[in-house]
A and B are shown apart, each in its own frame.
Chain A
């Protein structure tokens, strides 16, 4: 005690300095991360004449919604398409993922782990390497260029990640619950419906949010499967908008904000679940 006493004040002053330094560094980093967001939002609110090149970084002198209005007029059909795509695709791949995850965790059989690994490989492949056969296949079954075709594609390629999240979730539910129900004569499907499903709402939330974001932000599938520009999802429409020569920057930036808004809102409101989805596979449990 006697030895430690004189050192304490010095130490705490240094500690306070370190804390201030850390906060300053974090603030600087935060400014960097927010910079493009600032540019997007601010440019969108500028009047077209004010988007002059030399004033890019200055805040708008007055709030002008013309950019957002124009972006909305051009992009609203594509926003609707994206919602019509994302909602069924998320629900369907979530449902299949729940069933798969249940079997892979609670009803293992010889070779089921190998099957699970084969399934997981599907989420890592570069989708370029399946595009030509995929398009031929969709043409054969008459779904090429249509929204149901794109939904089907997102459901199938969403299976690995949804299955993984549910499998890891169910693995933490004690096997005794399943065993007890079995002793009572409950069936495989009955146990799923009566025991697992009611317990799996948190997993559904995680999968729902994560897949909503994934499908909303997809670009490649929408680009090559939907050929009619008016019916393409929002990411493709935004990219087309930025490729046009006549488009003003304020409209483009407003468009980028519109395209980012749904996933941004989800992230801000439900970020916890989003992070859990992201880390789902990486953590034991």
Chain B
């Protein structure tokens, strides 16, 4: 599901009024009761988040590579990580996660901003349209995956719809080949960056765009671009009417007001959207699991699926744990600076 994945950004409200009681005036009794009330939750988080992460790191360094538990640290503790990064499949997974993240972010931001600006300009049906665009966000990734897999069925889905609408008739008249792509079922990867960047030659996977990823990206944009739109709408509502009116009085065209004033003011919103959706896409799992699984030639495989399969199907616990730690690091690179900044603002 989308909502569980897109927790709102951790920008936190600061009190309108000063702290109710300055630190010095608080009685010891009050402060110990406060801490006591927080204790159960903080204890649970310390164990379930930080304790369990530490244990996962331990497992990734251990000899536990089969169904039989073995928590002894390997003689070469980082051997599992070395093995992981030299696996063709995991290299493919990292490539896919990167390709997916970049394309999904660009398209979601563009679509979200466009929809928000159109809604901002439209006079009627605003909340009606807004609710339609945000609706997929309330659905489960599994529902999305199941229905979009049906839509991207090469024989019957979107291809048939476009054909029925006369696309291929038109292409034929123009002397162009029919448009009938295989969507999720192709292992084809377009482009090869190793040709341009010699450093990539040692990799065991082709650094390009896996075509089967395109339908997955479309489904993800369908589900989450509404989130970007809602964030932009919220941002637009904070831009004061006075600014727009002043610009209008100065004779600026609507287009220029948007380009020079409103869109630049939305930049902080864009950063929030990129961080939230970026961390979601780096850990994407449910949607791809339901829509295509690892895909032909691992064309739609991602680290999230790799971890699940290595851990729960192949029982290679140390390998699965190592991949999950890599996922955690990727997500942390995006999230920790954001959290650190919001801590400073508190």
Contacts and interface: CB of A to CB of B under 8 A. Distances in A.
8 contacts: A19-B121, A57-B164, A130-B53, A156-B48, A171-B16, A175-B19, A210-B3, A213-B138
Interface string B281-308: 0110110011000000000000110011
Contacts of B37: 99-100, 102-103, 188-189
B188 to A, nearest CB: 24
B139 A264 contact: yes
Chain A contact-residue range equals 35 or more
Identify the 4 closest CB pairs spanning chains A and B, nearest first: A217-B1, A175-B20, A281-B8, A217-B140
A164 B283 CA distance: 22
In terms of DSSP, what is the predominant structure of the interface of chain B? Answer: helix
In terms of DSSP, what is the predominant structure of the interface of chain A? Answer: helix
A278 B144 CA distance: 19
Interface in B81-99: none
B311 to A, nearest CB: 6
A129 B56 contact: yes
A256 B146 contact: yes
B34 A103 contact: yes
Interface residues of B, number: 116
Contacts of B153: 53, 56
Given A119-B42, A182-B20, A56 B289 contact: no
Interface string B139-165: 111111111111101011100110010
Contacts of A48: none
Contacts of A278: 3, 6, 8, 137, 227, 230
A260 B312 CA distance: 27
Contact of B44 (A18, A159, A280, A283): A159
Interface of A: 18-19, 22-23, 25-26, 29-30, 32-37, 39-40, 43, 53-54, 56-57, 96, 99-100, 102-110, 112-126, 128-134, 136-137, 153, 156-157, 159-161, 163-164, 167-168, 171-172, 174-176, 178-179, 182, 187-189, 210, 213-220, 224, 235-236, 238-239, 242, 249, 252-253, 255-256, 259-260, 263-264, 266-268, 271, 274-275, 277-285
B257 interface: no
Given A33-B226, A34-B132, A210-B3, 6 more contacts: A25-B118, A26-B129, A53-B155, A137-B52, A160-B45, A238-B143
Nearest to B124: A23
A218 B129 CA distance: 27
Given A56-B160, A118-B45, A120-B339, A129 B146 contact: no
A119 B33 contact: no
Interface string B19-32: 11101001000110
Interface in B185-231: 222, 226-227, 230-231
A114 B222 CA distance: 36
B230 A279 contact: yes
